[in-house]
Amino acid sequence: MALTQTPPALEFSHVRASRPQTLPFGPNLEARAFLLERDAGNLLIYSNGALAGDAEWLESAGVERQYLNHWHESMFGLAPEELGARPVVHRADAQQVIEHGGRPLTFARRFHLDDDFEAIPIPGHTPGATAYLWDSGERRFLFTGDSVYLHRGRWRVGLLASSDPRSFIESLELMRELDFDVLVPWVTGVGEAWAHPVSPEERHERFGRLIDFIRRAR
């Protein structure tokens, strides 16, 4: 099995990181996908161009669906077809995924899958950006794509010229109130930990800073 080594301080049961892909537009940034090992069926969160190299262990584990945070991920490639993992993306980002070769299942609103996984639209970075909240039974993980990502120990926002600042702020306010204790973005700095354990107090403070940043940038 070719697995990215988890930093010693990050040992999470039932979450397995793919090998990272350095991003061409940010050579100091890398993106990963994550396998969630669930009794109700394993899920893959995010995508990158390195998944073909992880196809063997992913196929062995079994993956039912690949949940994309937003359509940019499809630019780098989706899960290998032999996995049989159909991509899932918000309807507002579906056309771009199709243009990059995907055949996605779509949704248009917040929903639960079983009793442990929730899709939460967070428009702003793109119209269809979506966070995923998963309760492993031990921790509550929030997957934010690169709407919120980690770089040099800081939380940052993927505010692009094409982003909608007003929607972005509303989405950050929503995420600030979610009950989670581990942030798992799509993007981190090269060599940095791929997740960030967080207390409720830190969660409120960090999101508050991001909200203030976008308000100043508008």
Judge whether 157 lies within some domain. yes
CB 81 within 8 Å of CB 98: no
Judge whether 97 lies within some domain. yes
Judge whether 193 lies within some domain. yes
Residue ranges of the chain whose pLDDT lies below 70: 1-11
Tokens of 26: 């940010």
Judge whether 32 lies within some domain. yes
- Residue 40's pLDDT is 93
Judge whether 10 lies within some domain. no
Judge whether 180 lies within some domain. yes
Q: What is the Cα–Cα distance from 50 to 204, expressed in whole angstroms?
A: 34
Structure confidence by residue, pLDDT tens digits, 117-131: 999 999 999 999 999
- Residue 4's pLDDT is 41
Judge whether 6 lies within some domain. no
Structure confidence by residue, pLDDT tens digits, 190-204: 999 999 999 999 999
CATH of the domain at 157: 3.60.15.10
Residue 186 belongs to domain spanning: 15-217
- Residue 13's pLDDT is 81
Task: Quote the pTM value.
Answer: 0.93
> How many structural domains is the chain composed of?
1
